[in-house]
Amino acid sequence: MAFEEKMEVIKSVEPFVEQFISEKMKNPEECWQPADFLPDFADPDFHDKIQILQKSIANVPDTVLVSLVGNMITEEALPSYQTFFNLLKGMNEERNVSSNGAWARWSRLWTAEENRHGDLLNKYLYLSGRVDMKVVEKSIQQLLHNGVDLQTDGDPYHGMIYTSFQERATKITHVNTGKLAYKSGDLSLAKICNTIAGEEALHEKAYKFFMGKIFESDPNGGLAAFVAMMKKKIVMPASLMDFGTEKRQYLNYVNITQKIGAYTSYDYASIIDHLVKNWGIENLLGLSDEGKKAQDFLSTLAERYYKLAERMKEPMEMELIWLNK
Ligand SMILES: [Fe+2]
Ligand SMILES: [Fe+2]
């Protein structure tokens, strides 16, 4: 499909973006804020509260903490995600960051919610006393400095496939990290992870809804985008963290996350499975020959990834980066 036609489809989805915003998204005034979960330094007993926090996080294993730091660094790079979104063709043709268009507004609502995720985790980890904050801060700056390459080539269909996948992946990671925190006795951290996961679930719902509308208008184009993104493989947003340095922090983060079960190759397969079913890929009608081929490819893809996940060996390289020694 020619790019102009894709732009038309994106334009036609705009009322649904509007609908999602008005029905599902909260006004910033009504949202929770990091301060709701953190000790207040103005309280006379703030010392005690910090001691309680440090005591409750004390039994969270180092590996879980490294994984959590990686999640936090990923969240902190959100200026790159808003930029990414607004650079998708057809999303912000006015080239205006305060545009009133539904897509541009969505991009701001979405990233303004994400901003609190990074803030809250960052402050909690800082107060924990277990994290080498300067090293972590360098990683955040490095990642922002390097940007993101989500391999969508500015194509809005690719962008919607990527975000549908990644928001679900992020939700899974936060849910699993919350369970690990709960198991280690840090109920506050578990609550934080679950609260964040709840918002990721909403973002996932939004992107799946928007992409679903694209499939309704342009099933062949939607399928081509889904296949293209699956062939490139979905990379985590923090993948450029070490670019330009000798560090291997990203690999460590990915390995540890896999090892502790916060986000695994099995999850990757399950997300493909879920998205294929959610968009009813196997029942799409009005397909070209290319579209039918894409449909066949996608209907067996999750199965192949499940098999790969079963065969996958334990990750080797694991260093307890980002933590105080
Ligand atoms: Fe987030
Ligand atoms: Fe999100």
Which residues have a Cβ under 8 Å from the Cβ of 266 and sit 6 or more positions away? 306, 309
User: How many A from CA of 319 to the centre of ligand 2?
Assistant: 27
The token pair that represents 279 in the structure block: 């968009």
pLDDT band at 2 (very low <50, low <70, confident <90, very high): confident
119-157 per-position pLDDT tens digit: 999 999 999 999 999 999 999 999 999 999 999 999 999
Return mean pLDDT, the chain.
96
Ion ligand 1 contact residues with beta carbon within 5 A: 75, 114, 117
Q: Which residues pair with 11 in a beta bridge?
A: none
61-70 per-position pLDDT tens digit: 999 999 999 9
Q: What is the DSSP string of 214-231?
A: HHHH-HHHHHHHHHHHHH
Distance of CA 129 to CAs 66, 74, 140, 324, Å? 13, 20, 18, 8
Given this model, what pLDDT does residue 314 score?
76
User: How many A from CA of 114 to the centre of ligand 1?
Assistant: 4
Contact 157, 222 (CB under 8 A): yes
Which ligand has its closest atom nearest to the C-alpha of 78? Answer: 1
User: How many A from CA of 294 to the centre of ligand 1?
Assistant: 31
Which ligand has its closest atom nearest to the C-alpha of 117? Answer: 1
Q: What percent of the chain has pLDDT over 90?
A: 96
Given this model, what pLDDT does residue 315 score?
73
Which ligand has its closest atom nearest to the C-alpha of 71? Answer: 1
Q: How far is CA 34 from the centre of its chain?
A: 19
User: How many A from CA of 245 to the centre of ligand 2?
Assistant: 28
Q: What percent of the chain has pLDDT over 70?
A: 100
222-269 per-position pLDDT tens digit: 999 999 999 999 999 999 999 999 999 999 999 999 999 999 999 999
Ion ligand 2 contact residues with beta carbon within 5 A: 167, 200, 203
Q: Which residues pair with 303 in a beta bridge?
A: none
Which ligand has its closest atom nearest to the C-alpha of 169? Answer: 2
User: How many A from CA of 288 to the centre of ligand 2?
Assistant: 34
Task: Give start and end residues of each alpha helix (H) in the chain.
Answer: 3-24, 46-57, 62-76, 78-87, 102-128, 133-146, 156-183, 187-217, 219-232, 249-260, 265-278, 289-299, 301-311
